[in-house]
Chains A and B, each alone.
Chain A
């Protein structure tokens, strides 16, 4: 069964450094998402992306965050200058149509030192 894949599984970065999290959504999917889950807490929506542009973003997704779909397969989340509070699991998700359910990757654990 096709799945969403995320790399790396764990990223350790110094505070203030830039980090790029990578996702390969399911191949025929059109809608892409990033979520964040701080340890022990619920999954929080960050951003949705459709037709090569951001369609929705939350208050968490400030100017330090950006997303990109540089080619036909990758979907990336960049954090420009990381802060300690950015430490969390970051999940990518995709879906094939507007009324289809989202499917999640296994996440990238981001640790900011």
Chain B
């Protein structure tokens, strides 16, 4: 099906450390997106990926669309306290218009 497996579920890191999280799927997606959600707010788009192998950066964030089209990762370099939140991957299957979300990675950054 179109289930997304996102890992890790949570991370506790020191300020300044790099972070990596990923999503995998058993089916092929034609779009991968990464969102961040702060408490009480809606998901905010971080990076959108549209082509297999695509590597895209947004400031300290870098995300890649896996070659197999079944996975994506998000890296955050030199983490800062405001990076705290829940990061969701989301994928769109090639033959429909809806999106599926991963379960999220809860990031805690210790100053």
* A91 contacts across to B, CB distance below 8 A: 42-43
Q: Which residue of B has the minimal Cβ distance to A101?
A: B48
Interface hit among B13-21, B68-76, B77-85, B95-103: B95-103
How many A-B pairs have beta carbons closer than 8 Å: the answer is 55
Q: Do residues B97 and A45 form an inter-chain contact, with CB atoms below 8 A?
A: no
A35 to B98, CA, bound (A): 10
| CB-CB under 8 A for A101 and B44, given A42-B101, A42-B102, A56-B96 | no
Query: Which of A42, A55, A58, A99 lies in contact with B103, CB distance below 8 A?
Result: A42
Would you give the shortest CB distance from A88 to chain B, in whole angstroms? 13
A99 to B33, CA, bound (A): 11
Q: Mark B21-62, 1 if CB is under 8 A from A, else 0.
A: 000000000010101000011111100101000000000000
* Count of interface residues, chain B, beta-carbon cutoff 8 Å: 22
A101 to B45, CA, bound (A): 8
Report 28 cross-chain contacts, Cβ distance below 8 Å, ordered by A residue. Answer: A33-B98, A33-B99, A35-B101, A42-B88, A42-B102, A42-B103, A42-B104, A43-B43, A43-B88, A43-B90, A44-B101, A45-B98, A45-B101, A50-B97, A91-B43, A99-B31, A101-B31, A101-B33, A101-B45, A101-B48, A102-B33, A102-B45, A104-B35, A104-B42, A104-B44, A104-B45, A105-B42, A106-B41
B residues lining the A interface (CB < 8 Å): 31, 33, 35, 40-45, 48, 50, 88, 90, 96-104
